[in-house]
Amino acid sequence: MEATDIFQAPIIDRLSVRVVVDSRYERFMPKAEHAQMRIEHVGVIPEKHMHTFACEWGLSLHIATETRSARAQYLLDFGFTPEVLVHNFNLMSLDPTKLDGLILSHGHRDHFGGLDGFVDNFQGTLRPDLDLVVGGETVFREKFVKSAEGEMVSWGTLDRDGLHARHIGTVCCGEPHAMEGAFTTGYIERNSFETVTGGSMVVDYDHYTEDERGGKLVKDMHPDEHATCFIIQGRGLVVISSCGHVGLINTIKTAMAVANVDKLHAVLGGFHLGAAPDDYIENTVDELEALDPDIVLPMHCSGEKFINAMRRRLPQKLVTSNVGSSFTFGV
């Protein structure tokens, strides 16, 4: 954006987020309440008591926004495999014809792995002008991770040509991008104590070190990771950090700056703190306490140590998640 441009983030009345894919499903999840959010957990699936949700390492969230004049639905991330994504999507009786857009937080397989199969399964029912919003061109790079044997192996590549062949457009948003009822942050600034985590490697021929010119693997700095955000009328900003490789606090502060909003209402999603040292987690909770959100809702890679630290220090802000659960803001 030019320095003179002012980004206009949309404001909505209500936001619903439903967990389609995550690694936990507890059938006997106790009923939960929060003064500023409606929480609906699923035990026995209504009218489908012979079936149950599937879980895997990955994340997918169904999002619905509402104002007095407009409604929109999005699918944010797609889990690791299409089998789990499609299975849960159908059990939740979600309607693919009502999706107004697809959003990918970053280029890791546990977030894009189910996308191709989802598109194949619902081909012909998805609207013909559906776009996938990504955080930048680098999301299409091949990623490499360490195998169980300690060798670097390919983790695959998001197939842009294949998506285009099936009439799914791709929109690269390295800068803030507004949609109906939602916006993405664009590039997340790195100004806090946090470091870039994640373990994936990439070949990047655009840099100028000898190793990179030679095609060797270098650390993935996740320049294409972006957050999906919402402003709730009278409540403030909701930030979804799907994985948080560049830092939860960096993500929140970038979103607040982009939206020009001082009040953080909620932060949810993956915070990538599962393997973080204790002092790093305590620093994160310190920063969250200063930012003073009403709701902190960890999912996916946030980690038990972070959840336990929240229970100990900020229990009134912590809300726990479950596959199938629905969280409605603005009620």
pLDDT, one tens digit per residue, over 119-166 is: 999 999 999 999 999 999 999 999 999 999 999 999 999 999 999 999
Give the type of residue at 72. A
pLDDT above 80 (res 204): no
pLDDT above 80 (res 214): no
Domain ranges within the chain, ordered by starting residue = 12-329
Of 3-7, 83-87, 316-320, the one with minimum mean pLDDT is: 3-7
Task: Report the percentage of the chain scoring pLDDT > 90.
Answer: 92
Give the chain's radius of gyration (CA, Å). Answer: 19
pLDDT above 50 (res 12): yes
Where residue 104 falls among pLDDT bands split at 50, 70, 90?
very high
Of 147-151, 226-230, 316-320, the one with minimum mean pLDDT is: 147-151
pLDDT above 90 (res 293): yes
pLDDT above 70 (res 1): no
Sequence-distant (6+) residues with CB within 8 A of 20 are 60, 61, 62, 75, 79, 85, 88, 89, 92, 94, 323
Tell me what the pLDDT averaged over the chain comes to. Answer: 94
pLDDT above 70 (res 207): no
Rounded Cα–Cα distance for residues 173 and 159 (Å): 17
Provide the pLDDT for residue 3: 44
Q: Report the candidate in 261, 273, 291, 328 with the shortest Cα–Cα distance to residue 66.
A: 328
Average pLDDT (102-129) is 97
182 in Cβ contact with 230 (< 8 Å): yes
Where residue 208 falls among pLDDT bands split at 50, 70, 90?
very low
Domain 12-329, what architecture?
4-Layer Sandwich (3.60)
Where residue 184 falls among pLDDT bands split at 50, 70, 90?
very high
186 in Cβ contact with 177 (< 8 Å): yes
Provide the pLDDT for residue 213: 55
